[in-house]
Amino acid sequence: MPIQVKIFDTYEQISQTAADLVSEVIHQKPACVLGLATGSSPLGLYRELVRRYEKKELDFSLVHTFNLDEYFPIDPDNPQSYRYFMNQNLFKHINIPLENTHVPHGNDEDIEAVCQNYEKMLARSGGVDIQILGIGGNGHIAFNEPAEAFADQTHQVDLEESTIKANSRFFASEAEVPRKAITMGIGSIMKAKKILLIANGAVKAKAIQACVEGPISPACPASALRFHPDVTILADREAAKLLSR
């Protein structure tokens, strides 16, 4: 099945639709596994999930979550860490037991062991029911940067200069952005039953075009999603403006 692209006028509509799809999974399977992303793209979705939880429309008590990636090295209580981001923007506002939430450990000495252990935990969880993704301006998903080959499993990466620059907006200076990260591989992401990619703004237009219509190539890691049977992109007009159809 080709990637479905749904185009919206506003970011608010994207977030509502993403929340509808995630809510549907939680309602159908209260002990589901959510694959979560950081960055600005899913923030509206998280706000909406919190709102629905507060209105008692959602119960997260049995839900498990796995995040895509984390900087390395970084402490979990560093405000720039993805663990901190998730706690602040979602976990502390809903009734999910914190031990059900997983973010790769950015402060462990044995980075190889962290990666292997993460894959094991993912496998033991029964697999991700719905995976939320953002996309980097260079077509990266999670921290899978453009490369010679698609990475399979959770692994460590050297961040690209463009990613360090793009993400420096969250740090006091560019020098403070960690140069490495731990990320789920394209193979681990592709195991999710359903994938939802959120893209808004003109800075994402090239990446969305390459992902949907360019060659399937590790030069655009997101293009691998075309091998997955159930991917929906929720985009605004700006992010979708280079698509030919």
Asked if 106 interacts with ligand GLP (CB under 6 A), we say: no
Asked if 185 interacts with ligand GLP (CB under 6 A), we say: no
Residue 244, C-beta contacts closer than 8 angstroms, at least 6 positions apart: 213
Selecting among 48, 69, 129, 236, the annotated active-site residue is: 69
In whole angstroms, the minimum distance from the beta carbon of 43 to ligand GLP comes to: 8
Asked if 37 interacts with ligand GLP (CB under 6 A), we say: yes
Q: How many residues bind ligand GLP (CB under 6 A)?
A: 14
Asked if 143 interacts with ligand GLP (CB under 6 A), we say: yes
For residue 135, the Cα-to-chain-centroid distance in whole angstroms is 8
Amino acid at 87: N
Q: Tell which residue, 199, 230, 243, 208, has the closest CA to residue 15.
A: 199
Asked if 69 interacts with ligand GLP (CB under 6 A), we say: yes
Asked if 134 interacts with ligand GLP (CB under 6 A), we say: yes
Pick the closer one to ligand GLP by CB: 29 or 165. Answer: 165
DSSP assignment of 140-152, as one string?
A: -BTTB-S-SS---
Angle, alpha carbons 79-83-87 (nearest 5°) = 85
Q: Tell which residue, 117, 28, 25, has the closest CA to residue 36.
A: 25
Give the pairing of strands 130-133 and 33-36. parallel
Selecting among 48, 70, 129, 145, the annotated active-site residue is: 145
Say whether 75 is catalytic: no
Asked if 167 interacts with ligand GLP (CB under 6 A), we say: yes
Footprint on this chain of ligand GLP (rule: CB under 6 A)? 37-41, 68-69, 134-136, 142-143, 163, 167
